[in-house]
Amino acid sequence: KADQRGPATVSPTGQVTGVDQAKVAQGGAYLTTAQGVRLHDTDHSLKAGPRGPVLLQDHHLREKIMQFDHERIPERVVHARGAGAHGVFQSYGTASTVTKAAFLAEDVETEVFVRFSTVLGSRGSSDTVRDTRGFATKFYTTEGVFDLVGNNIPVFFIQDAIKFPDVIHAGKPHPDREIPQAQSAHDTFWDFVSLHTEATHHTLWNMSDRGIPRSYRMMEGFGVHTFRLVNAAGETTLVKFHWKPKLGVHSLVWEEAQIINGVDPDFHRRDLFDAIESGAYPQWELGIQTFPDTPDQMFEGIDLLDPTNIVPEELAPVQPIGLLTLNRNTSNFFAETEQVAFHVGHLVPGIDVTDDPLLQGRLFSYLDTQLTRLGGPNFNQLPINRTHVPVNDMQRDGYHQTAVHRGVAPYKPNSLDGGCPFAAGADAGAFVDVPVQLPESVKVRAQSETFDDHFSQPRRFWLSMSPIEREHIIAAYTFELGKCYEQAIKERNLQILANIDPVLCSKVAEGLGLPAPEPTVPLVDVQPSPALSQVGEVWPAD
Ligand code: HEM
């Protein structure tokens, strides 16, 4: 919004008037050192004569440069490039039969912070690359922080977190030449996904229009894993989380994406900021698919613990449970978007994890990486990460501690300050892990054979596409595989396409000038899921 206040003026005492206070870098009538001592000159260093060497004793010079030298922190190891915004989540109360989470009760308003991201590019990379997008939401609830750390694609490349370093090494730029910044067009990515066929489904989504969203405001979001909800009676329900954009789901076409990459690499970031700035607040409905919490954790033959699976909406409709509105831009990108720390383990009473082996590994990874990225264990004290309820965690000291804790006995119970937070009844409202009955178990590395079908779900996705979406997918595979140097990698990927669908395979093979292989697995007879297609989505009348 234009600042109506006219040009800034500086009074004789140094007071600045006539400017939008939000734009003032730092208040105060004069500049000071970090110790608060008033400065008379910050443009010239102390020297032995006007042309002489600079003196070591110039503390202001050293302090100023030292601080600057350490302005950068490591970028995220994945999802380094992002854009964030603040907002509110208004719950409908429709989930209260399945969860006791207070922020999902009827008509509760909860402050949130959302960070959208690409996955593989560095912090300064371009927005409209072909890639998965992160969609991470921090809910500052009355029961503590809940993070829903999702993506815009409902499945993942791998079934077990132990492969995460491998898939990311394969997707990141080649170690020798540091290209490309985008997910696409390189041998290591295509090498990995052809050797780990569980990646087929996610790769197909990436090669579809979903890989190049039109705007963050027009993307779906998915929690991907199956989560477990618990209601007030202690009954459990398995769920998958979905965000549905009010503006509908829209993508760029590849040619547009490439042109925008050059003309405006900040396209998505700008789009989000400008929309909020102008009052066109983006909205998403949060919904859940619910499944009975059966001992086998299967639904209609689909293993709910396998993160390469979706459950078609025709089999389990998405039930709306609340509305997210992003209505406030960040005022300091570093303090908010860069320092925010999401974690799948940030759960509140009523929401729990399942044994999905990908989710289990994530429970370790986020806290671990943030220790390095944010410089020690006290990043929960940063304003963007701080819960909006009182903290009484008995944690002490450590790098970047800013709290001044009181008391002599930082442990509970103790006999010195009289407090025992676990007195009878004090756990009402506490997070209690759901007591899940485990099957008789043995210690193995083997995985369930229900994780073995890597092709029928990709086939369903392909069969659910409209003709134009199929054309885009064929063009994307042809372009990306055409960039691979190694013939064997192209051939292995054609084999995977043959196992999804012979038409898809033969069209891409034709484009690559290679023979189309025969399928090596029987083609499964799956029903299309119309909800997977973007075509036919209409802009809502309101
Ligand atoms: C960051 C989603 C799997 C490790 C992120 C972010 C999102 C995300 C949205 C960005 C958070 C932000 O904006 O700050 C997902 C989804 C996954 C997945 C949906 C699968 C369903 C994994 C796995 C691992 C992992 C399996 C490791 C075992 C990380 C790490 C970061 C990250 C280390 C950087 C966090 C930070 O520096 O703050 N992920 N991720 N992710 N993810 Fe994942």
Question: Taking a C-beta distance cutoff of 8 angstroms, is the pair 365, 79 a contact?
Answer: no
Q: Which two tokens stand for residue 328?
A: 């406030």
20 alpha carbon – ligand 1 mean position (Å): 37
What residues does 238 pair with on adjacent strands? Answer: 228, 291
What does the pLDDT look like over 347-372, one tens digit per residue? 999 999 999 999 999 999 999 999 99
pLDDT value of residue 538:
41
Question: Taking a C-beta distance cutoff of 8 angstroms, is the pair 184, 480 a contact?
Answer: yes
Ligand 1 atom nearest the C-alpha of 149 is: 9
Q: What is the rounded distance in angstroms from the CA atom of residue 27 to the CA atom of residue 17?
A: 11
Q: pLDDT band for position 124 (50/70/90)?
A: very high
Ligand 1 atom nearest the C-alpha of 116 is: 13
CB atoms within 10 A of CB 521: 13
Hey, whose CA ends up nearest to atom 15 of ligand 1? 150
Please, which residues have CB within 8 angstroms of residue 529's CB and are 6 or more apart in sequence?
312, 313, 314, 460, 461, 464
Ligand 1 atom nearest the C-alpha of 117 is: 13
Hey, whose CA ends up nearest to atom 23 of ligand 1? 362
Q: Which two tokens stand for residue 72?
A: 């950068």
Burial class (CB in 10 A: 0-12, 13-18, 19+), 205: buried
Q: In what helix (H) or strand (E) does residue 488 lie, and over which residues does it extend?
A: helix 487-500
Say whether pLDDT at 415 is over 90.
no
Q: What is the rounded distance in angstroms from the CA atom of residue 473 to the CA atom of residue 458?
A: 12
Ligand 1 atom nearest the C-alpha of 364 is: 28
Question: Taking a C-beta distance cutoff of 8 angstroms, is the pair 516, 502 a contact?
Answer: yes
Q: What is the mean pLDDT of the chain?
A: 93
Residue 321: DSSP 8-state: E
Question: Taking a C-beta distance cutoff of 8 angstroms, is the pair 181, 173 a contact?
Answer: yes
Please, which residues have CB within 8 angstroms of residue 185's CB and are 6 or more apart in sequence?
479, 480, 483, 484
What does the pLDDT look like over 74-88, one tens digit per residue? 999 999 999 999 999
Hey, whose CA ends up nearest to atom 37 of ligand 1? 76
Q: How far apart are the first and last CA of the chain?
A: 25
In order, the DSSP letters of 90-147 are EE-STTTTT---GGGSTT-EEEEEEEEEESSS-TTS-TTSSS-EEEEEEEEEBTEEEE
Hey, whose CA ends up nearest to atom 35 of ligand 1? 366
* Amino acid identity for residue 54 in this structure: V
What does the pLDDT look like over 257-291, one tens digit per residue? 999 999 999 999 999 999 999 999 999 999 999 99
Hey, whose CA ends up nearest to atom 25 of ligand 1? 362
Question: Which of 44, 60, 70, 151 is flagged as catalytic?
Answer: 151
Q: Which two tokens stand for residue 218?
A: 């027009």
Looking up tokens 């998965």 gives: 132
What does the pLDDT look like over 448-504, one tens digit per residue? 999 999 999 999 999 999 999 999 999 999 999 999 999 999 999 999 999 999 999
Residue 12: DSSP 8-state: T
What residues does 114 pair with on adjacent strands? Answer: 85, 137
Please, which residues have CB within 8 angstroms of residue 49's CB and are 6 or more apart in sequence?
none
In order, the DSSP letters of 43-64 are SS--BSSTTSPBPTT-HHHHHH
How much is the average pLDDT of 400-419?
88
pLDDT value of residue 428:
77
Residue 15: DSSP 8-state: -
What residues does 141 pair with on adjacent strands? Answer: 144
Strand spans (E) along 157-272: 221-222, 227-230, 236-245
389 alpha carbon – ligand 1 mean position (Å): 25
Please state the three-class secondary structure of 389-441 as a single string.
CCCCCCCCCCCCCCCCCCCCCCCCCCCCCCCCCCCCCCCCCCCCCCCCCCCCC
Report yes or no for ipTM above 0.85. Answer: yes
pLDDT value of residue 8:
64
Question: Taking a C-beta distance cutoff of 8 angstroms, is the pair 78, 370 a contact?
Answer: no
366 alpha carbon – ligand 1 mean position (Å): 7
pLDDT value of residue 205:
98
Say whether pLDDT at 523 is over 60.
yes
Of the chain, the percentage scoring pLDDT greater than 90 comes to 84
Say whether pLDDT at 7 is over 70.
no
Hey, whose CA ends up nearest to atom 30 of ligand 1? 366
pLDDT value of residue 541:
38
Say whether pLDDT at 183 is over 70.
no
List the one residue out of 127, 113, 360, 365 whose CA is nearest residue 263.
127
Residue 298: DSSP 8-state: E
327 alpha carbon – ligand 1 mean position (Å): 25
Looking up tokens 């600045």 gives: 16
Residue 336: DSSP 8-state: I
Q: Is the pTM of this model over 0.90?
A: yes
Say whether pLDDT at 71 is over 50.
yes
* Amino acid identity for residue 379 in this structure: F
Q: What is the rounded distance in angstroms from the CA atom of residue 419 to the CA atom of residue 451?
A: 49
338 alpha carbon – ligand 1 mean position (Å): 14
Question: Taking a C-beta distance cutoff of 8 angstroms, is the pair 165, 238 a contact?
Answer: no
Hey, whose CA ends up nearest to atom 18 of ligand 1? 362
Is 151 noted as a catalytic residue in this protein?
Answer: yes
List the one residue out of 197, 164, 170, 195 whose CA is nearest residue 308.
197
Q: Cα torsion for 254, 259, 260, 262, to the nearest 10°?
A: 130
Q: Which among 147, 354, 365 is the best mutation to test ligand 1's pocket, defined by most ligand atoms within 8 Å of the CB? A: 365
pLDDT value of residue 3:
43
Say whether pLDDT at 418 is over 90.
no
Question: Which of 79, 242, 343, 454 is flagged as catalytic?
Answer: 79
78 alpha carbon – ligand 1 mean position (Å): 7
Q: What is the rounded distance in angstroms from the CA atom of residue 428 to the CA atom of residue 115?
A: 32
Hey, whose CA ends up nearest to atom 41 of ligand 1? 362
369 alpha carbon – ligand 1 mean position (Å): 10
Q: Which among 73, 79, 220 is the best mutation to test ligand 1's pocket, defined by most ligand atoms within 8 Å of the CB? A: 79
Q: What is the rounded distance in angstroms from the CA atom of residue 344 to the CA atom of residue 147?
A: 6
What does the pLDDT look like over 16-44, one tens digit per residue? 677 777 777 777 889 999 999 999 999 99
pLDDT value of residue 272:
98
pLDDT value of residue 303:
98
pLDDT value of residue 521:
96
pLDDT value of residue 6:
53
Residues with CB under 6 A from ligand 1: 76-79, 82, 115, 117, 134, 136, 149-151, 156, 161, 164, 224, 307, 340-342, 358, 361-362, 365-366, 369-370, 373
Q: What is the rounded distance in angstroms from the CA atom of residue 124 to the CA atom of residue 270?
A: 14
179 alpha carbon – ligand 1 mean position (Å): 22
Q: Is 65 helix (H, G, I), strand (E, B) or coil?
A: helix
Ligand 1 atom nearest the C-alpha of 150 is: 19
How much is the average pLDDT of 91-102?
98
Is 174 noted as a catalytic residue in this protein?
Answer: no
Q: In what helix (H) or strand (E) does residue 3 lie, and over which residues does it extend?
A: none
- Among 145-149, 225-229, 441-445, 461-465, which is the least confidently predicted range? 441-445
Q: What is the rounded distance in angstroms from the CA atom of residue 335 to the CA atom of residue 148?
A: 20
